[in-house]
Amino acid sequence: MTLPVTAEIEALDIDAIAGAEGRVVVFCDAGGKLDTGGRRVNRLTRGALERLVASKAFDKLKPGEAAELGWPSGMAAEAVQVVKLGRRPSAEEARKAGAAIGKAKNGKALLVLAGTLKRVEDLVLGLTLRAYAYSDQKSEKKDDEGPVTVMVTRPDAVRDAVQATRALAEGVFFTRDLVAAPSNVLTTTEFAAQLQALGKLGVKVEVLDEDALEKLGMRTLLAVGQGSDSPSKVVVMQWKGGGKGAPFALVGKGVVFDTGGISIKPAAGMEEMTMDMGGAGVVAGVMKTLALRKARANVVGLVGLVENMPDGKATRPGDVVKSMKGDTVEIINTDAEGRLVLADVLWYAQDRFKPTGIVDLATLTGAIIIGLGHERAGVFANDDDLCKAFLKAAETEGEGAWRMPLGEAYDQLLKSDIADMKNVGGRPAGSITAAQFLQRFVKEDCPWIHLDIAGVALTKSETALAPKGATGWGVLALNRLIADRFEG
């Protein structure tokens, strides 16, 4: 498990700056004005800091970007990082600045001279999220992470706000660790065990095994995993922080590895299919965040955990299976398996919990990457108010999302000659027909959003707040949605 660095908030002590080891961070606005900590560093370095902020190179930096003084004279630090940032930054600017600090930290001790800077909590969140590194599978022991000390003029006013970001960071890190873990490590059984551990935080966790799923009629979900030795499971996580009202539901696709089944994928790039449980990973991260911050809301998280493998028992193209709802599905392509998992879990969530609304998440289609790239997730919804609330939450948290269309005309592509529907509709509008398939398992009176996160769950280059690899996209936005909509 990767734990976030802990930022200690202390009162500004300019006498401690000269002896601080590791890295020291100061801030300067676009006008070149230094605060108390910056002026102290400038005196220690005999004007070097002042010359840097007056340079053309510093002038070209955008808010949140940084320059460095290496091995500054008069100081014990290895480097002084100079971040271009006004005293009243936006949340986005503060997080960007924090990410620049976290990226450069590289395990070193860190002294951040924030002084009177506003939005220190966003700065620390950006720092923490960008300093993430997944190392669980490396044999070389990771060196202890150097401490982070943030000095401000009013520590008592800042400390609680910074502490609140810890729950967000731990939720994001939990998601990233799950998505990054190889499938021989994160089996369906191990995944379920890690979710059961949330019980220590007050989450009520149930694991439904294959016998229970068979009795419930979850045959589309079971069809996906029947070619694997790893048993299929559904994990139900309940957080009851909002009284006796009906919960809001989160549903995640948890395909721990996807070969494509009998419709096997090309070998090139198949190793990335360890991330095909990304939707379930986000649900897990949100549930952990809600529990850690003792959210005043009722939320249930449900994840379908399966492995899609080719085997003598595997589902074949052309097979017909009956869903928990009772609809029959002709499986044209066994690589369109995520929607089969979600169909049964969506129906179960509504049947059992009667939720006030549902958000499902899945690394569902390559088509959404063709449409939106790796910048935004696809958002499909049957309820305008819920969709607008989510898009606002995603924008506030800097997590890219874009609403995509739904419509009855797309249903025509899913018509089957021998069953109630097919599981694919061909290449045209592939992400939309996948969403249309899922909508058939959502009751008309239930507000619903489907998030296709195939392009944003794992990236080959760094993002604003994450190194390349698992991003944890969605934890911040969904936490914000729940806070805004249910905690007021």
Helix (H, G, I), strand (E, B) or coil at 99: helix
Instruction: Determine the Cα–Cα distance for residues 7 and 124; give it in Å rounded to an integer.
Output: 7
Average the pLDDT over 29-44 and give the result: 94
Percentage of residues in the chain having pLDDT higher than 70: 100
Confidence bin at 85 (pLDDT 50/70/90): very high
By CB atoms closer than 10 A (0-12, 13-18, 19+), residue 211 is: exposed
Q: With a cut of 90, say whether residue 236 has pLDDT above it.
A: yes
Structure tokens given for 464: 């604003």
In tens, the pLDDT along 410-422 reads 999 999 999 999 9
Tell me the catalytic residues. 265, 339
User: 133-154 burial, b for 16+ CB within 10 Å, e for fewer?
Assistant: ebeeeeeeeeeebbebbbbbee
pLDDT digits (tens, 9 = 90+) for 432-487: 999 999 999 999 999 999 999 999 999 999 999 999 999 999 999 999 999 999 99
Task: Write down all domains in the chain, each with its CATH number in brackets.
Answer: 7-153 (3.40.220.10), 172-487 (3.40.630.10)
Question: Is the pTM value of this prediction over 0.85?
Answer: yes
How far is 105 from 345, CA to CA, in rounded Å? Answer: 42
Looking at residue 283, its pLDDT comes to 98
CB-hemisphere CA count at 13 Å for 226?
20
- Residue carrying structure tokens 């044209």: 332
Residue 88: which of 138, 129, 133, 30 has the closest Cα?
A: 30
Question: Residues in the chain, how many?
Answer: 488
Q: How is residue 193 written in tokens?
A: 């065990």
Backbone φ and ψ of 245, nearest 5°: -70, 165
Question: Residues 6 or more apart from 241 whose CB is under 8 A from it?
Answer: 290, 294, 295, 296, 297, 298, 299
Looking at residue 279, what is its pLDDT? Answer: 98
